[in-house]
Chain A
Amino acid sequence: KAGVTQTPRYLIKTRGQQVTLSCSPISGHRSVSWYQQTPGQGLQFLFEYFSETQRNKGNFPGRFSGRQFSNSRSEMNVSTLELGDSALYLCASSLRAGYGYTFGSGTRLTVV
């Protein structure tokens, strides 16, 4: 079966712009979570969606937002990009919260 698909794989944006990342979970998985990884940091939790509702949110500013559609696909948006937002953004899906994740390959965002 198809894995978790993230698009795009790479992205270069300028400070102040906004960006939207997309994640298509494994078929049947209703929980989608987003993580940020920067050098030297562990995966930092951004938010989790389940059945189109944000269930949990990490400690990130309001510039980071997301949503989930009825087909469980999820998007993450970052507005007013800062240099520090340069990171690998990983999406992970699971059947239910707390179950093991299946991760996507990530989107590498570079802000210049």
Chain B
Amino acid sequence: ILNVEQSPQSLHVQEGDSTNFTCSFPSSNFYALHWYRWETAKSPEALFVMTLNGDEKKKGRISATLNTKEGYSYLYIKGSQPEDSATYLCALHTGNQFYFGTGTSLTVIP
């Protein structure tokens, strides 16, 4: 069992603030790290797939980095908007299965 930790557990920010949260994992022995966004009453939606140390991905105001040597990935949201409110999940794929973190719940206050 691989323990994927996400912090913080929840976050409240004002509209327009930039924010970031962390996904930590104990091993660099994995195929890929995935980020998902999960809005209430909807299905989790894929954001990024990252495989290499130093990977950086960007989608609009959201970006992510991966550091496999130190075992973490950061997700950044620039200029948060109310529609960014969701739970953000990271997951490691080891070749056999995905291991999900418990997520960071983001609330953006208008």
Which B residue sits closest to A55, measured CB to CB?
Answer: B96
Is there contact, CB below 8 Å, between A104 and B43?
yes
Which of A41, A42, A104: most chain B CB closer than 10 A?
A42
Cross-chain contact B96 with A56 (CB below 8 angstroms): yes
Please report the total number of B residues contacting A with Cβ < 8 Å.
24
For residue B29, CB closer than 8 A to chain A, the reply is no
Instruction: For A72, list chain B residues within 8 Å (CB).
Output: none
Q: Flag whether B72 is at the interface (Cβ < 8 A).
A: no
A105 within 8 A of B: yes
Q: Are B97 and A56 in contact, with the CB atoms below 8 A?
A: yes
- What's the tally of chain A residues with a CB closer than 8 Å to chain B? 27
Q: Which of A54-109 contact B (CB under 8 A)?
A: 55-56, 58-59, 90, 92, 97-106
Report whether A103 and B44 are in contact in the complex, using a CB–CB cutoff of 8 Å: yes
Q: Which of B26-75 contact A (CB under 8 A)?
A: 31-32, 34, 36, 42-46, 49
Main secondary structure of the interface of A (DSSP, over half): loop
Give the tally of cross-chain contacts (CB within 8 A). Answer: 56
Q: A16 within 8 Å of B by Cβ?
A: no
A28 is an interface residue with CB less than 8 A from chain B: no
| A residues neighboring B (CB under 8 Å) | 3-4, 33, 35, 40-45, 48, 55-56, 58-59, 90, 92, 97-106
Offer 28 A-B interface pairs, CB within 8 angstroms, sorted by A. A35-B100, A41-B102, A42-B4, A42-B103, A43-B91, A43-B98, A44-B100, A45-B97, A45-B99, A48-B97, A56-B96, A58-B97, A59-B1, A90-B43, A90-B44, A92-B44, A97-B93, A98-B93, A100-B34, A100-B49, A101-B34, A101-B36, A101-B46, A101-B98, A102-B43, A102-B46, A103-B36, A104-B43
Known contacts A97-B95, A102-B43; 18 further A-B pairs (Cβ under 8 A): A4-B43, A33-B97, A33-B98, A35-B100, A41-B102, A42-B89, A43-B98, A45-B99, A98-B31, A98-B93, A98-B95, A99-B49, A101-B34, A101-B36, A102-B46, A103-B44, A105-B42, A106-B43
